[in-house]
Structure 1
């Protein structure tokens, strides 16, 4: 399986924001997603990252279109969550 080269955290959050902006999601769902993505960016490399990632996953479960837009990022976010948790030990 071929993986994309590792991107910076900034590039990841820019891509997440763009995916949410371009997804045909109701404005309320879009605003909630932006809020969670903003909180994720603020708690990167801390245990709080996992909590915020769970919030984004829950939002995606409620908004299938949003979940589809974020699908390309889930693996990368989970990897970042693992490293955030490991860095706090």
Structure 2
């Protein structure tokens, strides 16, 4: 069986799929909120965010300084398109319900 067009190995990993799905529902999400929502350590989330950022799927914004520094995340337009295509590919694999 061949993979459906749009299937994305990078996004398909369970943690990254959860991360991308969470970000798809928001314009920007606070790093702490994402970490708590996915029940990940800071380092585990940072690693996944870095992987997706290097692929151009996630944008990172750091605001403020010192104790007031905030890190926010969002899906880039490329990331949104990749997620949309991946979901469509999964739906093709699953078939009509």
Provide the TM-score with structure 2 as the length reference.
Answer: 0.31
More helix by share: 1
* Greater length-normalized contact order (CA 8 Å, ≥ 6 residues apart): 2
CA radius of gyration, larger in: 2
More strand by share: 2
Provide the TM-score with structure 1 as the length reference.
Answer: 0.33
